[in-house]
Structure 1
Amino acid sequence: MSDVKNILLVGVGGQGTILASKILSEGLVEAGYDVKMSEIHGMSQRGGNVSTQIRYGKKVYSPIVGKGEADVIVAFEKMEALRWIEYLRDGGKMVINDFEIPSVPILMGQAEYPTEILEELSAKASVLAVKAAEIAQSLGNSKAMNIVLLGALVRAMNVEGVDWKKAVASSVKESFIELNLKAFDAGYNL
């Protein structure tokens, strides 16, 4: 059996998915793991989806996570969680931002945002729903929701021997360090 762990981070362009992935990868490297990361930006600057695949373990040969292989999926938006559920392995975990970003068809009135997404996903997997945008806003800036989700993910992963606060601080602008450290703690302590 492989010791490699598979994580997917999925969201919409502008949510900070890639920054969270880079901080996570940096921390895992610091902990001594071999880490491979792959990111896909599908029209991300126009509100399209963004996905990052991270694999870590003693020796990792590929950054690609196949269907049914993800140990954890972190969804920065609820509909993205629904789109990627087929990548979660049996017994896997989902950390989901309880947050909605309507797609273009929804904004144009051609479709409706799906209801009861969290309930549907909870029937299929272990789900931690996080109101990351609200938590980040209460700290001073809703854009820190990515770091709130990162904190929740790190707690769910239970990886020891990493100075996560150092990884966060070294990855954000100096003027945002304090906010992001508070956001990380808020997510970690959920």
Structure 2
Amino acid sequence: MSKVKSILFVGVGGQGTILASKILSQGLLESGYDVKMSEVHGMAQRGGSVSTQVRFGEKVYSPLIEKGKADIIVSFEKSEVARWLEYLKDGGHAVVNDYEIHPVPVLIGKESYPEGVKEKVQGEVKNSIFVKAGDIAKELGNIKAQNVVLLGAVIKALELENMDWDGVIERLVPKKAVELNKKAFRVGMDQVK
């Protein structure tokens, strides 16, 4: 593969955005790709925006994704995708967690949660996949696994499912959460047709 692929992960602090990016990066490295990853924590501890950028291919010179160049945007919270759509290239994919986290201004009634995000994204991005990752993770036993549900969907969308993802999850996820995350990963892949 000589073409570089660019994946932008966006979410809210505490959703596991960075761990999902690390699992993806490690799996790609172990499969022989050149990988670069950049992370921005922002106000992560206060529920603020978090983003990571992963680029991989035969040779990657920079981890940074320019506007209009992301092959995939992975949004861990529904409204976050709207903030980052300008980074998606024409024909790119959006993998979105159909899950809402209301920021403090919304919770105290100073602002309203954005309406129509799903419809806007589906109207602008032909290749959009909405996954109820939060609900799926709750059903599996822990909402914290929503990040790995989304990662499974991304792996399937990228057609990279034939790598040793179970092994990577075993090495990067705390031992007590390994089996849950393996299940979450498989269910996430099943969300993409």
| TM-score for the superposition, normalised by structure 1 | 0.97
Q: CA deviation at 1:161?
A: 4.6
Supply the distance in 2 between the matched residues of 1:82 and 1:31 (Cα, whole angstroms).
32
Q: Which moved more, 1:152-161 or 1:27-36?
A: 152-161
Alignment-mate amino acid for residue 172 of structure 1: V
Q: CA deviation at 1:107?
A: 1.5
* Stretches (4+) displaced over 2 A: none
Q: What is the aligned residue count?
A: 189
CA RMSD in angstroms comes to 1.0
Which residue matches 2:79?
79
Supply the distance in 2 between the matched residues of 1:12 and 1:36 (Cα, whole angstroms).
22
Q: Give the 5 Å matches for 1:1-190.
A: 3-125=3-125, 126-159=127-160, 161-190=162-191
Supply the distance in 2 between the matched residues of 1:149 and 1:70 (Cα, whole angstroms).
17
Q: CA deviation at 1:108?
A: 2.0
Q: Deviations over 1:86-127 (max 9, x none)?
A: 000000000000011112221221111111111100111121
Q: Deviations over 1:18-42 (max 9, x none)?
A: 0000000001111111000000000
Q: Between the two proteins, what is the percent identity of the paired residues?
A: 57
Q: Deviations over 1:127-183 (max 9, x none)?
A: 100000110111111110000000000000112651011111111111111100010
Structure 2: stretches of 5+ with no match in the other structure: none
Supply the distance in 2 between the matched residues of 1:160 and 1:178 (Cα, whole angstroms).
18
Supply the distance in 2 between the matched residues of 1:74 and 1:27 (Cα, whole angstroms).
17
Supply the distance in 1 between the matched residues of 2:145 and 2:103 (Cα, whole angstroms).
22
Alignment-mate amino acid for residue 152 of structure 2: G
Supply the distance in 1 between the matched residues of 2:114 and 2:174 (Cα, whole angstroms).
36
